Structure 1
Amino acid sequence: MKFPRSSGVLLHITSLPGGNGVGDLGDSAYKFVDFLAASGQSIWQILPLSPPAEGDSPYSAYSAFAGNPLMINLAGLVSEGLLTQTDIDETQQTTPHGGSTEPGTPHDLASSSGGMAATVSAPAVSQTHVDFVTVAARKEAALNRAFERFQNTASHPLRSPLLAFCKKHASWLEDFSRFEAIMCHLDESDWSKWPMELVTRQPSALAKWDDQLSEAIHYANFKQFLFDRQWQSLKQYANDAGVRICGDMPIFVAHESADVWANQSLFAVDENGKPTLVAGVPPDYFSKTGQLWGNPQYNWDALEKTHYHWWTERFGSAMRQFDLLRVDHFRGFEAYWEVPASARTAVGGNWKPGPGTKPFDAAREALGDLPFIAEDLGLITEEVHHLREQLGFPGMRVLQFGFDNADDDFHRPNTYPTDSVGYTGTHDNDTLVGWLKQRKPSGADPLKSWISDHDHAADEPVYWQLIDAVLQSDSDTAIIPMQDLLGLDNAARMNVPGKAKGNWTWRMTDSAITPELIEKLRGLTERANRA
């Protein structure tokens, strides 16, 4: 699929300023759209919107379809009659402590009633990094209160839209909400440790638990409805401003997910629900020992027998949420790194043939054109490039990878083909300034000589020269991480692959976007004929 010449910015929703300790779908998101439009950008690329399963990573979610309630804007619920400002103030000043906090059992956080043993004062949240534990507890407390008010208002105007949403998305929502309710009730995300009647999904057991946890299931539906309502409003605003949203789809899903639990025959799990084969990658740009992700591998033979129905549903859901979609770890469709579930590192894995074009062909039959970007980084073979070309998806070129040695110019901006998306870096890289500070080339520096040979905003700092180089490249699409536009060092890095904790927390400050930044970015964008 041919993309128009354009450019955009990579910034995840949780990295927005404002909100209550985490970026959300409120005013700051709309202001960011205004910034993109004013600076000549027509793409906003984000990370996955799914609810993280572990380690706060959006790339390991407990649903491939659901949205992350942490992104729900509380102020928007005031106008819906679900919260008051007092509700927000109270729930954001305290943190639940003791007692049951199970979803579907709303609590009065101003007292110890309703199953809440006590509330304790919580520290102020950071404006530059997300404290996920604190903000999640506070957001959950506020959403519980909103749900309680909704349940107690028989004629609330959102009742009919909620019912319509649940009916429309029943194919994934029913199992997701059931999964979330059971997970919270048992305080156990690993569904293979649940009672065996639930592991094996006995119909009588599901009916019994549906009845027992009906309120919690309604609450999970309610949160997904609120998220979707706010997301669709933001997307419409962006589209009206000429900005397309580019989403991100991890190829794998977490074992601790509604998807694997509800579709066990489609994944490499045994009769007890335990993974047998898991995903990862061998040593590459990011890690000398590879990366052991731990996600269960797909049973591609079983998926083929269904004509890849689950994948078509997943792609369709993504195309409803986004205008463009980056498919993470695209090379896994050509060949994937299979590791025994008992392994401690990914080094001892093996390459296995993937399904090739088949899932995409099935999706095209049902959905039409697929406006996808193939994340083809790492150890990429000619077969992977051929698969991407067969499908007509642009690949990725990342400037930072272009200067690791003097001989490999694949990722240097002057070599980018039109059917590619050029980046200064991704969420997995150093920031551009951090990379420049840490570089210690041996011998002649290919970057220094390359800069001297190419005139890119020569009167600007080096990081702006490199941003301009990507914008000036032949890539149809250019994407710049917000941290690079702000000239931030690695204190603002989003993710360090292989690092289990401390990632995904960076936030932009309220004062980061200035008229000077808008003017400079628009000027370079217009000069590159991307505005």
Structure 2
Amino acid sequence: MAALGSLSFSSLASSSSSSPKPSSFLATATLRPRFFLCTPFAAKTSAASASCSSVSGNAAASAVASVGQDLPDDYEEWTPKPDPRDRRRAGVLLHPTSFRGPYGIGDFGAEAFRFIDWLHQAGCSVWQVLPLVPPGRKANEEGSPYSGQDANCGNTLLISLEELVKDGLLAKAELPQPIDAERVNFAAVADLKDPLIAKAAERLIQSDGELKSQLENFHKDPSISSWLEDAAYFAAIDDSLNTFSWYLWPESLKNRYLAALEEIYQSKKDFIDLFIAQQFLFQRQWQKVRNYAQMKGISIMGDMPIYVGYHSADVWANKKHFLLNRRGFPLEVSGVPPDAFSETGQLWGSPLYDWKAMEKDGFSWWIHRIRRARDLYDEFRIDHFRGFAGFWAVPSEAKVAMDGRWK
């Protein structure tokens, strides 16, 4: 089940349940403006049904319920204040990669602003995008924003080279010849754009102007550094070892021993600095697009897959929050059971969350992830929201999803 809307978790209380389920994360959450809350009212069945209540307004509504119990009656009867987003709205789902970009892929350049103008002229008020994360670049996941390398980083291939020229980080003469392509060849685009974006990032690092000060503030921001440094180290190690998965890394790196990480920093400092600078350039250009959309009355709606990829900084840096064995391999993976669309179900293969471990630290991982989503979007949906009420767990060695069970 998918929930459409924007989420803001300002605080989370610890549940008294000794066996927390995903629903305890929702039931203990303090909710603010626009959020579709789906909570199970038949959790005792193996495939719990879900009932949805719309919550909006500035006043916070909080409720605490253990697994298998309904939320308090007064929670459902609470009358929200009118929200302008309750009116009927029209919008378009268009991922930025699909813009007619000059170098084989859409980006945050002129076409993004033209699209916002078109939405405004057409009477639309919503622009929905797919996840803006770095897409998987392996053969079986190339280009998919749902096989992202990191749940918080931005896809640097969306950085506009023309905007870098405006910032003085590239010379116009350095821009390549335009490419007229009907479909995105992500490998070819990366070969073309990555060196130029890295060159711009290096010039930014070596500069001493206002833009350099903004970069330093970006890195110092606690809400950014909480995920950025882990992502930078993960990317640096991955670049050095080039293995299929962090599971194959040496034990010292797989388990994040301080001495090993310090050695990586010393040997890959330039790479790490460039990684951080490129994330800043992504954030800067995307914020310009967001500001223009807001000026035109367009709300940007993002998309958040409920699960994250195994080969990611998210899992590597937060193993305790996932159901992994002692060697770091998933005990079970995500999916959905057989249905009208698939006789064997869907085997997604993402590691599952250890909700009991997450509850112990107040669901901090989810708080940081949602806070990051609020930095990127005006509102967003979580796919699939059903996973908060109950999830389909498939043994990691299974070949099809039908071998799983509800939890």
Structure-2 separation of matches of 1:32 and 1:286: 34
Counterpart AA for 1:296: P
Structure-1 separation of matches of 2:149 and 2:105: 20
Would the aligned equivalents of 1:66 and 1:224 in 2 still touch at CA under 8 Å? yes
Q: Deviations over 1:135-174 (max 9, x none)?
A: 11111121122133334x4424321111100111110001
Structure-1 separation of matches of 2:154 and 2:343: 33
Structure-2 separation of matches of 1:269 and 1:249: 22
Structure-1 separation of matches of 2:244 and 2:210: 34
Equivalent in the alignment of 2:37:
none
Structure-2 separation of matches of 1:233 and 1:190: 35
Structure-2 separation of matches of 1:226 and 1:189: 28
Q: Identity over the aligned pairs, expressed in percent?
A: 44
- From 159, 184, 195, the equivalent of 1:141 is 195
Q: Deviations over 1:21-58 (max 9, x none)?
A: 11111110100000100000000001000112341211
Residue pairs, 1:270-289, within 5 angstroms: 270-289=325-344
Counterpart AA for 1:230: Q
Equivalent in the alignment of 2:160:
73
Change (3 A) 1:8 1:172: same
Residue pairs, 1:306-385, within 5 angstroms: 306-352=361-407
Equivalent in the alignment of 2:131:
48
- From 118, 139, 144, the equivalent of 1:57 is 144
Would the aligned equivalents of 1:33 and 1:243 in 2 still touch at CA under 8 Å? yes
Greater relative contact order (Cα < 8 A, sep 6+): 2
Structure-2 separation of matches of 1:308 and 1:21: 40
Q: Deviations over 1:367-404 (max 9, x none)?
A: xxxxxxxxxxxxxxxxxxxxxxxxxxxxxxxxxxxxxx
Equivalent in the alignment of 1:166:
219
Would the aligned equivalents of 1:191 and 1:273 in 2 still touch at CA under 8 Å? no
Equivalent in the alignment of 1:7:
90
Would the aligned equivalents of 2:302 and 2:379 in 1 still touch at CA under 8 Å? yes
- Which secondary structure state, in structure 2, belongs to the residue aligned with residue 270 of structure 1? coil
Structure-2 separation of matches of 1:49 and 1:342: 30
Equivalent in the alignment of 1:85:
172
Structure-1 separation of matches of 2:191 and 2:320: 35
User: Residue 215 of structure 1: CA displacement?
Assistant: 0.6
Q: Deviations over 1:342-369 (max 9, x none)?
A: 11111111111xxxxxxxxxxxxxxxxx
Q: Does 1:195 align with 2:246?
A: no
Equivalent in the alignment of 2:100:
17
Q: Deviations over 1:440-462 (max 9, x none)?
A: xxxxxxxxxxxxxxxxxxxxxxx
- Which secondary structure state, in structure 2, belongs to the residue aligned with residue 217 of structure 1? helix
Counterpart AA for 2:259: S
- TM-score w.r.t. the length of structure 1 is 0.58
Residue pairs, 1:91-490, within 5 angstroms: 126=181, 128-151=182-205, 153-168=206-221, 169-352=224-407
User: Residue 288 of structure 1: CA displacement?
Assistant: 2.6
Q: Deviations over 1:186-235 (max 9, x none)?
A: 11251111111011111111111111111100011011000000011100
Would the aligned equivalents of 2:202 and 2:274 in 1 still touch at CA under 8 Å? no
- Give 1 or 2 for the bigger CA radius of gyration: 1
Structure-2 separation of matches of 1:254 and 1:36: 33
- Which secondary structure state, in structure 1, belongs to the residue aligned with residue 170 of structure 2? coil
Would the aligned equivalents of 2:102 and 2:180 in 1 still touch at CA under 8 Å? no
Structure-2 separation of matches of 1:232 and 1:189: 33
Change (3 A) 1:345 1:271: same
Q: Which runs of 5+ in 1 are unaligned?
A: 94-123, 353-531
Counterpart AA for 1:261: W
Q: Deviations over 1:460-493 (max 9, x none)?
A: xxxxxxxxxxxxxxxxxxxxxxxxxxxxxxxxxx
Counterpart AA for 1:35: W
User: Residue 125 of structure 1: CA displacement?
Assistant: 5.2
Structure-2 separation of matches of 1:227 and 1:154: 18
Structure-2 separation of matches of 1:273 and 1:87: 45
User: Residue 285 of structure 1: CA displacement?
Assistant: 4.5
Change (3 A) 1:336 1:20: same
Would the aligned equivalents of 1:199 and 1:272 in 2 still touch at CA under 8 Å? no
Change (3 A) 1:206 1:278: same
- Which secondary structure state, in structure 2, belongs to the residue aligned with residue 67 of structure 1? coil
Would the aligned equivalents of 1:266 and 1:302 in 2 still touch at CA under 8 Å? yes
Deviates more, 1:154-163 or 1:272-281: 154-163
User: Residue 86 of structure 1: CA displacement?
Assistant: 2.1
Would the aligned equivalents of 1:279 and 1:295 in 2 still touch at CA under 8 Å? yes
Counterpart AA for 1:78: V
Would the aligned equivalents of 1:279 and 1:338 in 2 still touch at CA under 8 Å? yes
Equivalent in the alignment of 1:29:
112
Q: Which runs of 5+ in 2 are unaligned?
A: 1-55, 57-82
Structure-1 separation of matches of 2:281 and 2:210: 13
Change (3 A) 1:264 1:317: same
Structure-2 separation of matches of 1:18 and 1:209: 36
User: Residue 16 of structure 1: CA displacement?
Assistant: 1.1
Would the aligned equivalents of 1:283 and 1:290 in 2 still touch at CA under 8 Å? yes
Counterpart AA for 1:21: G
Number of positions where the alignment pairs a residue of Structure 1 with one of Structure 2: 318
Structure-2 separation of matches of 1:340 and 1:282: 13
- Which secondary structure state, in structure 1, belongs to the residue aligned with residue 402 of structure 2? coil
- Which secondary structure state, in structure 2, belongs to the residue aligned with residue 289 of structure 1? coil
Q: Deviations over 1:250-287 (max 9, x none)?
A: 00000010000000000112222222211011123543
Would the aligned equivalents of 2:304 and 2:383 in 1 still touch at CA under 8 Å? yes
Q: Deviations over 1:275-328 (max 9, x none)?
A: 221101112354332111111000010011111111011111111211111111
Alpha carbon RMSD of aligned pairs, Å?
1.5
